[in-house]
Amino acid sequence: MKPVILQLVARVAVLLAFAVPVVMFIRSTGTYGASAGTVASAPSTPAQPLIALASRWNAGWALNGHKPTTNEMKMLLLTRALPAPPAPVTPLPPSLMLMPTTGWALDSGATITTDSKDVLVLRPLTNGRPSLPGQGQGWQAAYWYPDRTNHWHNYVVGVTATNLGAQGSGANATIVVGYSETLGGFAVTISAARITIQNRRRAHIYSGVIPAATAHRVNITLTDQLTVMIDGATVASFPVGHVHGGIGFGVWKASANSSLPFFTNLRVSSSS
């Protein structure tokens, strides 16, 4: 009987000998709190992340109870930790009588100029920069508030395209209707004596001849029907269904020597 009791006492002594240093280590380092019992009852809670380090998955946590500064909000939007606020809607004007000087989304980084005579000039690029008069070749286009006008419907756009080139000269002007950032529009392209119409998939749906002139007045009506008039005469009309989207303009110069078309006398109004 006595040997058994002595064995039990010896085992307890060994356990205590190992337990004391562990407890002393826990208390001296504070690794898990004031006592070993705290480890089981109070798991650690991660600190709230800094707003500067916020990303999509923890932005709500970082902003909980904290209002970001102006610079922090810019950073959150720039890094897409927060989604960009929806763009305000630009209503279809009862009548837009002047060429806008702001709000243009440009292809290929081009600039846009509107002079005192209400003229829109789009210059193709030369070495990545807008070309000077008599320079540059290729395509360049601008679209007016495409993120705000994608709900437009039932409207008429009229514009005069000037400085057009003869057939084969590569100096064309394009008017686009029904355009949005996600959907291409209907493109009406004219030279001095020809017209081509493309749908949203860029397929040609009409080609024809118009009276030769270096300038033409183009009127396009977009409802459930697309109707194109040149100098007051209806050239083409197609059913297109319920189409939405705003306006844009583009130029094509086949070579640096091609004329540069430009646009003037813009009028946009409701068709109803």
Could you count the other beta carbons within 10 Å of the beta carbon of residue 34? 9
Q: What is the pLDDT of residue 21?
A: 42
Q: What is the pLDDT of residue 6?
A: 36
Residue 56, C-beta contacts closer than 8 angstroms, at least 6 positions apart: 80, 81
- Phi and psi based region of residue 64 (left: phi greater than 0; alpha: psi -120 to 50; beta: remaining): beta
CATH homologous superfamily of domain 95-270?
Answer: Exo-inulinase; domain 1 (2.60.120.560)
- Cross-strand pairs, 177: 186, 247
Q: Whole-prediction pTM value? A: 0.66
Could you count the other beta carbons within 10 Å of the beta carbon of residue 139? 16
Q: What is the pLDDT of residue 30?
A: 35
240 vs 114: CA distance, rounded Å: 32
Structure tokens at 216: 């033409």
Q: What is the pLDDT of residue 108?
A: 63
Q: What is the pLDDT of residue 116?
A: 62
Domain borders along the chain are 2-78, 95-270
Residue with tokens 């004596």: 193
Phi, psi of 262 (to 5 degrees): -145, 175
Q: Where are the beta strands (DSSP E) in the chain?
A: 95-96, 104-106, 112-114, 119-122, 125-126, 129-130, 138-144, 155-162, 171-179, 186-190, 194-198, 204-209, 216-222, 225-230, 233-239, 246-253, 262-270
Structure tokens at 59: 């932005």
Q: What is the dihedral of CA 239, 243, 249, 254, to 10 degrees?
A: -60
249 vs 143: CA distance, rounded Å: 6
Alpha-helix residue ranges (DSSP H) falling in 30-156: 36-41, 59-63, 70-78
Residue with tokens 């996600």: 182
Residue at 154: amino acid letter: N
Nearest to 135, CA basis, from 51, 258, 224: 258
Nearest to 234, CA basis, from 253, 208, 258: 208
- Ordered per-residue pLDDT tens for the chain, 272 residues: 444 333 333 333 433 343 444 333 333 333 333 333 444 455 566 777 776 667 776 777 667 777 777 777 777 777 777 777 765 655 655 457 888 888 888 876 566 777 667 899 888 877 777 777 778 889 999 999 888 888 899 999 999 999 998 877 889 999 999 998 888 899 999 999 999 999 998 899 999 999 999 999 999 999 999 999 999 999 999 999 999 999 999 999 999 889 999 999 999 998 86
